[in-house]
Amino acid sequence: MLIKFIWMTFDLGLKGDYENLYFWLDSYNAQECGLSTALIKYPFQKGDNPIEKLKQELLENVEFKETDRIYIVWRDVVSGKSVTRGIFLIGKRKRSPWEGFASGVDFQEDIDEL
Protein backbone atom coordinates (compact mmCIF):
# COMPACT_ATOMS: atom_id res chain seq x y z
CA MET A 1 0.00 0.00 0.00
CA LEU A 2 1.33 3.41 -1.00
CA ILE A 3 0.36 6.76 0.56
CA LYS A 4 -0.07 10.09 -1.26
CA PHE A 5 -0.29 13.28 0.79
CA ILE A 6 -3.04 15.45 -0.71
CA TRP A 7 -4.15 18.90 0.41
CA MET A 8 -7.80 19.48 -0.36
CA THR A 9 -9.75 22.72 -0.29
CA PHE A 10 -13.52 22.67 -0.53
CA ASP A 11 -16.28 25.19 -1.18
CA LEU A 12 -19.76 23.68 -1.02
CA GLY A 13 -21.63 26.92 -0.39
CA LEU A 14 -24.15 27.43 2.41
CA LYS A 15 -26.28 24.35 1.76
CA GLY A 16 -23.59 21.89 0.65
CA ASP A 17 -23.35 18.25 1.66
CA TYR A 18 -20.84 18.96 4.43
CA GLU A 19 -22.10 16.10 6.58
CA ASN A 20 -21.08 13.45 4.05
CA LEU A 21 -17.86 15.28 3.14
CA TYR A 22 -16.88 15.55 6.81
CA PHE A 23 -17.75 11.88 7.36
CA TRP A 24 -15.53 10.97 4.39
CA LEU A 25 -12.68 13.20 5.63
CA ASP A 26 -12.95 11.74 9.13
CA SER A 27 -12.84 8.19 7.73
CA TYR A 28 -9.34 9.03 6.41
CA ASN A 29 -8.32 10.84 9.63
CA ALA A 30 -7.78 13.99 7.58
CA GLN A 31 -6.07 16.86 9.36
CA GLU A 32 -7.58 20.33 9.48
CA CYS A 33 -5.31 22.89 7.77
CA GLY A 34 -7.32 26.10 7.99
CA LEU A 35 -10.70 27.22 6.75
CA SER A 36 -12.09 24.56 4.36
CA THR A 37 -8.70 22.91 3.94
CA ALA A 38 -7.60 19.40 4.88
CA LEU A 39 -4.56 17.16 4.54
CA ILE A 40 -5.38 13.59 3.53
CA LYS A 41 -2.97 10.67 3.70
CA TYR A 42 -4.58 8.83 0.81
CA PRO A 43 -3.75 5.12 0.40
CA PHE A 44 -3.61 3.51 -3.02
CA GLN A 45 -2.21 0.42 -4.74
CA LYS A 46 0.77 0.51 -7.07
CA GLY A 47 -0.52 0.93 -10.61
CA ASP A 48 -3.64 2.83 -9.48
CA ASN A 49 -4.20 6.49 -10.33
CA PRO A 50 -4.74 7.93 -6.82
CA ILE A 51 -6.15 11.22 -8.10
CA GLU A 52 -8.77 9.56 -10.29
CA LYS A 53 -9.56 7.12 -7.46
CA LEU A 54 -9.99 10.03 -5.03
CA LYS A 55 -12.36 11.83 -7.42
CA GLN A 56 -14.47 8.71 -7.95
CA GLU A 57 -14.66 8.09 -4.22
CA LEU A 58 -15.79 11.65 -3.53
CA LEU A 59 -18.47 11.43 -6.24
CA GLU A 60 -19.75 8.19 -4.68
CA ASN A 61 -19.88 9.58 -1.13
CA VAL A 62 -20.80 13.27 -1.38
CA GLU A 63 -23.71 14.91 -3.19
CA PHE A 64 -22.27 17.80 -5.20
CA LYS A 65 -24.20 20.70 -6.71
CA GLU A 66 -23.19 22.51 -9.89
CA THR A 67 -21.50 25.34 -7.96
CA ASP A 68 -19.55 23.14 -5.52
CA ARG A 69 -15.77 23.03 -5.79
CA ILE A 70 -13.00 20.73 -4.60
CA TYR A 71 -9.39 21.63 -5.38
CA ILE A 72 -6.44 19.39 -4.54
CA VAL A 73 -2.67 19.89 -4.41
CA TRP A 74 -0.10 17.09 -4.26
CA ARG A 75 3.54 16.29 -4.98
CA ASP A 76 4.40 14.02 -7.89
CA VAL A 77 7.53 12.69 -9.55
CA VAL A 78 7.90 13.42 -13.26
CA SER A 79 11.04 12.35 -15.12
CA GLY A 80 12.83 11.94 -11.79
CA LYS A 81 11.89 15.45 -10.59
CA SER A 82 9.50 16.27 -7.76
CA VAL A 83 6.78 18.66 -8.92
CA THR A 84 3.74 20.22 -7.27
CA ARG A 85 0.46 19.72 -9.07
CA GLY A 86 -3.03 21.05 -8.50
CA ILE A 87 -6.43 20.60 -10.13
CA PHE A 88 -10.13 21.03 -9.53
CA LEU A 89 -11.63 17.58 -8.97
CA ILE A 90 -15.10 19.09 -8.70
CA GLY A 91 -16.12 22.41 -10.24
CA LYS A 92 -13.87 24.99 -11.80
CA ARG A 93 -12.01 28.21 -11.16
CA LYS A 94 -14.08 31.35 -10.76
CA ARG A 95 -13.19 35.01 -10.78
CA SER A 96 -11.01 35.96 -7.81
CA PRO A 97 -12.44 38.53 -5.38
CA TRP A 98 -9.06 40.31 -5.49
CA GLU A 99 -8.96 40.51 -9.29
CA GLY A 100 -8.22 44.03 -10.47
CA PHE A 101 -6.41 45.20 -7.33
CA ALA A 102 -2.99 44.87 -8.99
CA SER A 103 -2.22 45.75 -12.57
CA GLY A 104 0.10 44.01 -14.99
CA VAL A 105 -0.26 40.51 -13.54
CA ASP A 106 -1.27 37.75 -15.96
CA PHE A 107 -3.69 34.98 -14.96
CA GLN A 108 -2.29 31.44 -15.36
CA GLU A 109 -4.14 28.14 -15.46
CA ASP A 110 -3.04 25.11 -13.45
CA ILE A 111 -0.17 23.02 -14.75
CA ASP A 112 -2.22 19.83 -15.01
CA GLU A 113 -5.83 18.90 -15.46
CA LEU A 114 -7.56 15.52 -15.40
**pLDDT tens, position by position, 57-82:** 999 999 999 999 999 999 988 888 99
Assess if residue 112 is contained within a domain. no
Q: Please state whether the predicted TM-score (pTM) of the whole model is above 0.75.
A: yes
C-alpha distance from residue 45 to each of 42, 76, 84, 86, 109 (Å): 10, 15, 21, 21, 30
Task: Render each residue's pLDDT in the chain as its tens digit; 114 residues.
Answer: 899 999 999 999 999 999 999 999 999 999 999 999 999 999 999 999 999 999 999 999 999 999 999 999 999 888 889 999 999 999 999 888 888 887 765 656 565 555
Report the alpha-carbon distance of residue 79 to residue 36 in Å, rounded: 33
How big is the chain by its Cα radius of gyration, in Å?
Answer: 15
Q: What is the CATH number of the domain that holds 53?
A: 3.30.70
Query: Strand locations in the chain, DSSP E?
Result: 2-11, 31-32, 37-44, 69-78, 81-90
Flag whether 35 is in a domain. Answer: yes
Residue 44 in any domain: the answer is yes
Averaged pLDDT score across all residues of the chain: 91
Q: Which residue segment(s) compose the domain that 35 sits in?
A: 2-90
Residue 63 lies in a domain: yes
Q: Where are the alpha helices (DSSP H) in 1-114?
A: 18-27, 50-61
Q: Is 62 exposed, middle or buried, given 0-12, 13-18 or 19+ CB atoms closer than 10 A?
A: buried
Q: Which of 3, 42, 44, 12 is nearest to 25 (CA)?
A: 42
User: Which pLDDT belongs to residue 50?
Assistant: 95
